[in-house]
Structure formats: C-alpha cells, structure tokens
C-alpha cells in the first residue's frame, strides 16, 4: 500500500502548522489533490519549470518546495511568465506542488535550526518569539472523570510547554447547578439544586488547535453541558517565531568566523559590515530576508547577525553594535531541501524521494 499526497501534507502540517505562516504567505497545496496516490517527491527550495520537469522525468508527482510559486491570486493563466508556466506544467502533468514556507521558518526545528546546526550553534532559541499564538482553557470536571478529560485534551495538543508535556494546574472546588425540566443531567435531579465536588483544571494550548481541543474535551466530559472558559494569552510562544540565536562552542576572531561561515554555508562571498567585534561567540541567524530582526539580534547581544537581502542603507543600521552579514538568499536557505528530505525520509522510508539537482538560484557571482 502506498501513500496519498494528503498523508504527506498531514505530516508536514504537523511539523510546521500552516497557522504559523505570515499573512502574505501561501504555504499550502498549490496544485494537485490530496486524494492522489503518491508516486514520489522532489524536495526543492524553489519550484520552477525545471523542477517540475525533473519531477516528470523521475516519475514523482509531488514537489515539496520552501518558496510558494504562487503568492497572489492568478486572474488569468496563459503562460505569460514563469509563475504561470510552472503552474500550467504542473497541472498538465498531474504534479502536486506543496509549499512549506514561513511556517517552516517559524518552528524551532525548521529553516533556522538547520542553519544553526550547520554553524554548530549551541543553546539555540527563537530570536523573535511570536505572540498571540497561545490560548488558555479552563474547565470544570468531577474528580473521578478528570483524568479522562485531561488525557483527551493533551492528546488533542493541549498542555505542552517547551520540553514538558501534560502540563496543567488543578484546584478542588464545588460546582453548583440546577438542571431544567428539559435537561438530561449526568448528576442530580431536574429542578433540584446540585452541589458537586469538581476540579477546576487549566491548560495552555496553541490557539489554532482550540476547536479541536474543545471538541475533545466535550467528548470526554460526562456532563451534558460543559462549563469552560477559553481565553487568548499575550504570552510569547518560545517555540514559534522568526530567526534563531545561539552560541559557538569556542569563540573565534571575526576573521576566523567569516572563513568558518563561508566554509559551513558553501559561500563564495559574504557581504558584511565592519568587524567591530574582537571575538565571536553569540550568533543570530535568519534564512532569507531577515533584516527586520536586526533589533532583536542587537537586544540579544549577538556578535554577528547572518541573513540575506540586506539593502545598502540597512547595513548602516548595524551601527557598530554587531557584524551584519548578507550571505545571499539562496545560500542561506538551500539546506532547507536537505531538511525536508531528511524529515520526509524518516517518516516515509519507502517512498521515492529526491532532492532537486536544479540550481534554482536566479543570481550568480563572478
């Protein structure tokens, strides 16, 4: 029995929930159908016509790409540019294109972790954790049913804080209610006030899983009507956000570090600001266009910030606080295809899986 395209997507969505993508993004299934039988996968940074051709030649009907080929609505589809030609070619040949973009940037085991690992960074943390991604659920349950309900909400994704799972806070109390004449009470009599020893339990949960978790809670709960509060939290989610910061095991001089960076990231060239740091220990990274994190890199007292797509005037903003390095967008993210390949091969060991051989970098150096 083979796999469906949808099974691959479900796996990738667990890894990098689509809810964690930026509003401008289009990380989703762009062409194809979840119900198709999977014949093989090509992993790529970009999805271009050449990559689609590679898939056709390999007999693989799915391309998993970091960058979405389509960002905005297409009002016509005539092949007038490379985006339309790529989409048309994929549709004509029944190729599914799936993009896993800023959602993969934003998870702790994603694009920036891969860069950090290549640089041997330790104690890595998200550079700019995101807010408003967490909710709090408070519910009330009779003591003897609390484990069943808690297990159900944990199973649905609640109660995870960093490396700790099954996290809750519980207090004992007294619940009161009077069932109406039309009620079907699990405990007590219609029309009679009831006092019941209950637990008030609180759990934290990813906001995007709220509906799923509330359904699981209600299903496991014995009461006809479940009393609960769901509220949004302002807390940062330390596990989700942009960029990453970590430390080198042994500090290096700035010159040594730049050579090391070139070696580890396969760079011909690195564009950087003045070498204002004697020793490099703390390193901030962001694959792709990450200059919006410069302030975070400074606040975290990084010695160097490595990103791409930095404009001339933005280099000035380093302002002597750190060494700002532009290593190129493609160069900063090319190892994402290896990351995708590894994750997919671990979970789907018997599928035909390829890393694209197409160099999709639209720029080069001489």
Count of other CB atoms within 10 angstroms of residue 331: 20
Shortest distance (Å) from residue 287 CB to Zn ion: 6
Q: Which is nearer to Zn ion, 67 or 89 (CB)?
A: 67
DSSP string, 227-268: -EEEEE---EEEEEEEEEEEEEEEEEEHHHHHHHHHHHTT-S
Candidates 91-99, 212-220, 330-338, 342-350; binding stretch for Zn ion (CB under 5 A): 330-338
DSSP string, 65-80: ESS-S--S--S--SS-
Strand partners, 289: 308
Count of other CB atoms within 10 angstroms of residue 340: 27
Q: Which is nearer to Zn ion, 50 or 333 (CB)?
A: 333
Q: Which is nearer to Zn ion, 296 or 333 (CB)?
A: 333
Q: Which is nearer to Zn ion, 68 or 288 (CB)?
A: 288
Which of 288, 290, 328, 341 is in the footprint of Zn ion by CB under 5 A?
288
Q: Which is nearer to Zn ion, 206 or 288 (CB)?
A: 288
Please, which of residues 226-285 interact with Zn ion by CB under 5 A? none
End-to-end CA distance of the chain: 50
Shortest distance (Å) from residue 308 CB to Zn ion: 8
Give the count of residues interacting with Zn ion (CB under 5 A): 2
Tokens of 277: 């740091």
User: HSE (CB half, 13 Å, CA atoms) of 296?
Assistant: 22
Comparing every residue's Cβ against Zn ion, the nearest one is 288
- 328 near Zn ion, judged by CB under 5 A: no
Shortest distance (Å) from residue 330 CB to Zn ion: 8
Residues of the shown chain interacting with Zn ion in the complex, contacts defined by CB under 5 A = 288, 333
């Amino acid at each position: 029995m083979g796999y469906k395209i949808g099974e691959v997507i479900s796996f990738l969505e667990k890894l990098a929930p689509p809810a964690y993508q930026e509003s401008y993004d289009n990380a989703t299934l762009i062409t194809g159908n979840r119900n198709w039988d999977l014949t093989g996968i090509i992993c790529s940074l970009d999805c271009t016509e050449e990559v689609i051709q590679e898939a056709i030649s390999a007999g693989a009907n799915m391309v998993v790409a970091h960058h979405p080929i389509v960002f905005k609505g297409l009002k016509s589809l005539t092949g007038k540019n490379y985006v339309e030609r790529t989409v048309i070619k994929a549709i004509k040949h029944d190729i599914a294109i799936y993009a896993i973009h800023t959602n993969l940037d934003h998870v702790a085991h994603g694009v920036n972790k891969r860069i950090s690992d290549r640089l041997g960074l330790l104690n890595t943390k998200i550079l700019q954790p995101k807010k408003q991604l967490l909710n709090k659920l408070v519910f009330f349950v009779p003591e003897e049913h609390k484990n069943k309900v808690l297990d159900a909400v944990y199973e649905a994704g609640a109660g995870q804080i960093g490396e700790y799972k099954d996290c809750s806070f519980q207090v004992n109390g007294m619940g009161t209610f009077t069932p109406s004449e039309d009620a079907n009470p699990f405990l007590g009599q219609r029309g009679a006030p009831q006092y019941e020893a209950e637990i008030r339990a609180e759990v934290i949960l990813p906001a995007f899983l709220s509906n799923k978790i509330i359904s699981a809670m209600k299903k496991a709960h014995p009461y006809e009507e479940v009393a609960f509060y769901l509220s949004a939290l302002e807390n940062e989610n330390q596990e989700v956000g942009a960029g990453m910061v970590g430390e080198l095991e042994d500090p290096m001089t700035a010159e040594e570090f730049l050579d090391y960076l070139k070696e580890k990231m396969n760079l011909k060239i690195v564009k950087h600001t003045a070498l204002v740091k004697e020793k490099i220990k703390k390193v901030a990274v962001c694959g792709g266009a990450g200059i919006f994190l410069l302030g975070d890199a400074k606040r975290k007292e990084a010695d160097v910030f490595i990103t791409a797509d930095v404009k001339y005037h933005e280099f000035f903003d380093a302002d002597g606080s750190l060494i700002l390095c532009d290593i190129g967008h493609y160069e900063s993210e090319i190892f994402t295809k290896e990351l995708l390949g590894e994750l997919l091969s671990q979970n789907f060991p018997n599928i035909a899986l390829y890393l694209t051989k197409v160099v999709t970098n639209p720029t080069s150096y001489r």
